[in-house]
Chains A and B, each alone.
Chain A
Amino acid sequence: MRWASPLKLHEAGILGMNCRNVDFIGRYNLRRFYPLVDDKLKTKLLAQEYGVATPALISVVRTQHEISHVEERLMQLNSFAIKPSRGSGGKGILVITGRRDEFFVKSSGVEMSLDDIKRHLTNTLAGLYSLRGNPDVAIIEDLIAFDNTFEGYSHEGVPDIRIIVFRGYPVMAMLRLATHCSDGKANLHQGAVGVGLDIATGRSLNAVQFAVPIQSHPDTGKPLIDLQIPDWKAMLLLASRCYEMSKLGYIGTDIVLDKSSGAQLLELNARPGLSIQVANGRGLLPRLRHIEKIRKPHPSAEERVDYVINTFSASGL
């Protein structure tokens, strides 16, 4: 079968791009709230305001002369991450995992001098990594220490959990694992592994790479079948709270699990992709339509998460 029949796709409840744009993004995401999501710094400040956990902000570099101010600060740190506030596609993210004398050690093991880091900051400010090359701001934040659960599951990059949140209800989740093929990035179309997660329990359902089902991680060989995300409900709560914070009805939340401080919000996406359906092996539409029919949405994140956990698996959505 080279082409799927549109009727069968509809029967399977698969959400198409046009439907997502018109019926969900267009209807539930107000344009004026987009900047909060597109700018990592704004998201971060907002998250702190709403008590949503994010990696702690060490410093913000807005102008060239501020670079010299952070110098001393950086010298005292062992590990940190530098991100462009409006970076695209994971570009310009510098992860320092340790120190070796005067030098900083990158996640890949390469050593960097302070001057190298200063140059990276200059490039970030000049907009080298931002969308359309606009001048940008550099964020320096705490490094996430992966939870032990993910040992061996990710090649280089951060394993993160994408949860689609619709009107505050988490509707679908997947774990994204970087591979050698995806060059340490967590985008499925670049070759990252997507592991669909049961929204009620956080157990893995299905794993795919390039839309083809796989059983184990292509680089490390770790089996992907019996994977259980620890502290799943806390993660759903975190995702659910992003609704009040961002005021966007249809968002993708990217969450990482820190060894010591638990679930942390990395970023929000106002136009989350559709491949989460492939990773889960099921369509989003039945769940979205179900949530859409709720007349009086539950006011608190706890109630919404409970509703999802109790309803979705029970009604076979």
Chain B
Amino acid sequence: MVSRVPFYTTIAVLILLGISLAITRHLQLGIPFWPGAQKQAWLIEARVDFVSMNQSVLASLNLPHNPPGFNIINELAASPGYGFAIIEHDGIRRGEWSKNLASGQQTLYYKVQLIPDATTASAPSDERPSPRSVIWSESESIAAQDILAQAQSKSSSPESLTRELLRLLRNPEPGQNTALLLTNHSVATALEKLLNQAGVPTRISVGLYLEDARRRQSLTPMVEVFTQNRWIVFDPQTGDQGLPDNLLLWQQGGDSLLDVMGGQNSRVSFSMIEQTLPRIELAQSQFAGQGLSWLGVHSLPIEEQSMFKLLFLLPLGAMVVVFMRIIIGLKTSGTFMPILIALAFLQTSLGLGLISFISIVALGLVIRTWLSRLNLLLVSRIATLVVLVVFLVSLLSLVGYQLGFSTGMTITFFPMIIIAWTIERMSILWEEEGPKEVMIQGGGSLVVAIFAYLIMQLPLMGHLTFNFPELNFVILAMIMLMGQYTGYKLSELRRFRAMLEQK
């Protein structure tokens, strides 16, 4: 016996390689295993309105920059006549619109598409920012020191200090000191100043609560406290700690949300909708050029991609043929002719493809009987058939078109040469073995083609083979494995059944 170890090792390696590559790419690039898998996404539109007085305009809007808990997958600015640029400086991103001369009501749009991503929620920051220096008025200064002393006596960490300060500031019956501070400050600004005074780096951020189909959503000020290498969010209104899932931090620190030079009455408003996006598109736009994405064919031009879409289905069809012939034992005319027919069916739809294929082959057989009387040599006989098949196909298309079936055109998807060969082979078979064998082999080919078509047209199969071409290794392994199958074919269970009955 020949050792089977290298063979089965190869098979195992191929299967493992295919599956592990697919899983790696699924995890790394987020390509879904299931077609049509969708993911929630938010489309947020910031609209800037102002009135310009016949002068040059520079509008600058703070833009979200790596907002915790979200990934920006797409952004764009739409504003006719304005130049737009995104400027990044000190971890702050601003979108800048400029126009030489503008007059009247001006409207600028900035749209951003985000998907929730829990992994970015609390990314640690390497650099510890220094606390801002704080200036109070004289009376406030004393009150602030008093409050701080009161809070610090009850706290041990920046977080507990923040919580304690928030409790004092949000007390419904404020003490004298807090009441004094809150006359000129909001809770958020008072808290930010107090914490910075206590040496805790703190900044005011502006958050946007994401609610579906909300227009003119107002911004919510949040206080971010830097402790243990990360920013921790506090809601000064509720006193809650932590970032709510549906809160997008539009601005983190920085000076102002919107600056407009050369305009008046400027304001910014936000509207948003929730979208569900196909995960596959997200994966493509989000991870282009990363990790194992070079393995996919998405980097190719669309035209080549659609070719590969068909090409990657071929191994699947080949596997169906191998299975049908080795395990089931169906006879086909021409080993892989059924795959080519199945591929043609993919383009024409099954019913129409079947009708046109059978009619062309039947007509071809009639013509071929006449040809055989002419006693032509093989090559010229096949060539004659090819030409005649072209005529037949164009004739059928024309007739179909005149009858109002625009789908008549789809017949042209059938590979002419293959059809000519099929006709030739069927005709020889007819002469040698009789019409019964033609029916058996022709029917077998069609059954295999239909099976291959039914499997190849499954959206899941198209999706898997196209997005995970490495899964073809698994198919390859299956085909090789079937090539070593020495058991009975299904058809042999019938063929030899009489022998068992005799005993």
Contact = CB atoms under 8 A, between A and B. Distances in A.
Interface of A: 1-6, 8-10, 12, 14, 16-19, 22-23, 27, 88-89, 91, 123, 126-128, 132-134, 190, 208, 211-213, 277-278, 281-283
Nearest to A281: B502
Which of B496, B498, B503 has the most chain A CB within a 10 Å cutoff? B496
Given A17-B329, A22-B484, A2 B489 contact: no
B375 to A, nearest CB: 8
A44 to B, nearest CB: 24
Contact of B494 (A2, A17, A123, A127): A2
A72 to B, nearest CB: 27
Contact of A213 (B485, B489, B493, B502): B502
Contacts of A91: 432
A18 B487 contact: yes
B493 A1 contact: no
Contact of B378 (A5, A22, A132): A132
Given A4-B497, A22-B484, A17 B2 contact: no
B489 A18 contact: yes
Contacts of B502: 213, 281
25 contacts: A1-B501, A2-B497, A4-B497, A4-B500, A9-B492, A9-B493, A12-B499, A12-B503, A14-B492, A14-B496, A16-B489, A16-B492, A17-B329, A19-B486, A22-B486, A89-B432, A127-B378, A211-B495, A211-B498, A212-B498, A277-B496, A277-B499, A278-B498, A281-B499, A283-B499
A278 B498 CA distance: 8
B319 interface: no
A134 B377 CA distance: 9
A3 B486 contact: no
Q: Which residue among A16, A128, A134 has the maximum number of chain B CB atoms within 10 Å of its CB?
A: A16
Nearest to A123: B375
A277 B500 CA distance: 11
- Interface pairs A-B: 5 shortest CB-CB: A133-B378, A19-B486, A4-B497, A16-B488, A3-B493
Nearest to B484: A22
Given A12-B499, A12-B503, A281-B499, A4 B494 contact: yes
Contacts of A281: 499, 502-503
Contacts of B495: 211
A277 B2 CA distance: 27
B487 A6 contact: yes
A6 B500 contact: no
B497 A6 contact: no
A14 B486 CA distance: 12
A3 B493 CA distance: 5
Interface in B456-503: 483-489, 492-503
A190 to B, nearest CB: 8
A80 B119 CA distance: 89
B326 interface: yes
Given A3-B493, A212-B498, A88 B486 contact: no
Nearest to A90: B432
A3 B498 CA distance: 9
A186 to B, nearest CB: 14
Nearest to A8: B500
Given A4-B500, A27-B2, 12 more contacts: A1-B501, A3-B494, A8-B500, A9-B496, A16-B489, A22-B484, A89-B433, A208-B498, A211-B498, A277-B496, A281-B502, A281-B503
B236 to A, nearest CB: 76
A12 B496 CA distance: 10
Contacts of B494: 2-4
Given A18-B326, A27-B2, A89-B432, A278 B496 contact: yes
Contact of B488 (A6, A88, A123): A6
Contacts of A2: 494, 497
Contacts of A127: 377-378
A19 B326 CA distance: 11
A208 B501 CA distance: 14
